[in-house]
Chains A and B, each alone.
Chain A
Amino acid sequence: MRVVVDYDLCESNAICMQIAPDVFEVRDDDFLYVLDENPGDDRRAAMEESVQRCPKQAISLED
């Protein structure tokens, strides 16, 4: 599973960081950094929730 963020859409609401801090981090510069672009399958539920709850629909998953 690959995590893809559309940075043209992302506005750093940081909801993904709260759901999966091991994968997403919004830093003090207010930008989102993806810490792990290929999280294991045990993180699938958290990734799907991040996709759902991103207010800008900026996250997608590729298998």
Chain B
Amino acid sequence: MPQGRERITIVGASLAGYWAAETLRRDGFEGAISLIGDEAHEPYDRPPLSKKYLAGDVERDRVDLGNAEKLAALDLDLRLGQRATGLDVAARTLEVDRVAEPFDGLIIATGARCRTLPGTDGVAGVHTLRTVDDADAVRTAMDAGARRMVVVGAGFIGAEVASTAVGRGLAVTMVEALEAPFGRVLGVEMGAVLADVHRSHGVDLRTGVGVDEVLTGPDGGVGTRVVGVRLADGSEVACDLLVAGIGVIPNVDWLEGSGLEVADGVVCDETCLAAPGVVAAGDVARWTNARYGESMRVEHWDNAVQQGVHAARRLLQSDEEAQPFTPVPWFWSDQYDRKVQLAGRTHPDAEVRVVTGSVDEHRFVTYYGLGGRFLGALGMNRPRHVMQSKGLLEQDASWDEALAFAADWD
């Protein structure tokens, strides 16, 4: 193999790590592959956790990545329930649960963890949602008869949880500290459209107001349980279940002193290489996307798949063979009966134009453009058109070219 690698270690057994392992085998790597994950579960897929799995529409086996047969065929040294605790790039050693071991090639895919509300550790009924254990806890609480949910943060995880909870008959209040819900990702105007979708389904959406305090009461004599929240405007909202969707923190703590550059993620070059023989992929990876000439860290599902594949290949390639990783970001979100998809990016100063469909009917495509450049396409229940637009974005189409293309749709 290139550079004589005999053993490749993948830290992180979620989406990026799984597809990295699969790619190594697919591309003919015959050496040993260790896949190390700190969760007790075999690799699984996270998107259903806030949607169908949380709703109770699918069971655990439908959330697995691959299946037992496929996993066995990869011939992995699969080490679950183990955590990487340190790295020394110069010495080529990885530390797992405080025990050092040598590595030959390393793929860092440790993902991210949820931010939590201060002071809510151990308070029953307060949750974040990222792992299958998190989803089980929220699902169990709903099964047990939770009636009122507060979702803190109008982002996409919170929005999907709210949508699922409404579907299960809970009364939902969503609290967002910023004035513009979903504005950071979709822009103010389109964020308001998505807010309208939630309100039309009965969500009490409060924006421009933060949570001052999580209110608690006794939990059957032991510990405390959430009973509501007090907002910055002094109002109180009662609840028996609270889910915080207030962003994530990349899991880089274990890399302190490793010799790698860490800056809100593992810093990589354009090819996903962090150091000789060390690559990173998924939510934890910060790399220079040459398409935009910018350092980026992307938390989307599709990015984890693609970057896992790319980083694995990078490890098998020489420096001369290496290719830059230049995706157009893309994500989807299912909320109620709406499918929201964004290809590319938005910008606070972008021109926003509805190019087909009807915003009022919540079925449309919106284009974002800035300085003559086509930046992004947002669709609600228009997957075909979003994907065609994604192709244009990959070709670096101009704003005028994009508008001309979309003009043929209606």
Residues of A within 8 A of B (CB): 11-15, 17-18, 26-28, 30, 48, 52-53, 55, 57
Q: Is the CB of B302 within 8 A of A14?
A: no
The answer to whether the Cβ of B301 comes within 8 Å of any Cβ in the partner chain is yes
- Residue from A13, A27, A28 within 8 A of B341 (CB atoms): A13
* Given A11-B334, A11-B339, A13-B341, also A28-B301 (CB < 8 A): no
Some 27 contacts from A to B, beta carbons below 8 A apart, are A11-B334, A11-B339, A12-B339, A12-B383, A13-B341, A13-B383, A13-B387, A14-B383, A14-B384, A14-B386, A14-B387, A15-B302, A15-B330, A17-B384, A18-B388, A18-B391, A26-B383, A26-B384, A26-B387, A27-B384, A52-B22, A52-B305, A52-B309, A53-B302, A53-B305, A55-B47, A57-B65
Q: Is the CB of B332 within 8 A of A55?
A: yes
Determine the distance from Cα of A14 to Cα of B384 in the docked complex, in whole angstroms. Answer: 6
A15-B302, A55-B301 given; name 4 further pairs at CB < 8 Å. A15-B330, A17-B387, A30-B384, A57-B65
Determine the distance from Cα of A27 to Cα of B385 in the docked complex, in whole angstroms. Answer: 10
CB distance from B301 to the nearest CB of A (A): 6
Determine the distance from Cα of A57 to Cα of B65 in the docked complex, in whole angstroms. Answer: 9
Q: Which residues of B contact A48 (CB under 8 A)?
A: 26
- Residue from B45, B330, B341 within 8 A of A57 (CB atoms): B45
Determine the distance from Cα of A26 to Cα of B381 in the docked complex, in whole angstroms. Answer: 12
What is the predominant secondary structure among interface residues of chain B facing chain A? helix
Q: Which residues of A contact B305 (CB under 8 A)?
A: 52-53
Q: Is the CB of B390 within 8 A of A18?
A: yes
The answer to whether the Cβ of B306 comes within 8 Å of any Cβ in the partner chain is yes
* Given A13-B332, A13-B339, A15-B302, also A52-B387 (CB < 8 A): no
Determine the distance from Cα of A55 to Cα of B46 in the docked complex, in whole angstroms. Answer: 10
Q: Which residues of A contact B334 (CB under 8 A)?
A: 11
Q: Which residues of B contact A18 (CB under 8 A)?
A: 387-388, 390-391
The answer to whether the Cβ of B156 comes within 8 Å of any Cβ in the partner chain is no
Determine the distance from Cα of A11 to Cα of B381 in the docked complex, in whole angstroms. Answer: 11
Query: Considering only CB atoms, which chain B residue lies closest to A29 in the complex?
Result: B384
Determine the distance from Cα of A26 to Cα of B26 in the docked complex, in whole angstroms. Answer: 29
Q: Is the CB of B341 within 8 A of A30?
A: no
Q: Which residues of B contact A52 (CB under 8 A)?
A: 19, 22, 305, 309
Q: Which residues of A contact B65 (CB under 8 A)?
A: 57
Determine the distance from Cα of A17 to Cα of B19 in the docked complex, in whole angstroms. Answer: 21
Interface mask (B35-51 → A, CB under 8 Å = 1, otherwise 0): 00000000001010000
Query: Considering only CB atoms, which chain A residue lies closest to B64 in the complex?
Result: A57
Q: Which residues of B contact A11 (CB under 8 A)?
A: 334, 339
Interface mask (B61-81 → A, CB under 8 Å = 1, otherwise 0): 000010000000000000000
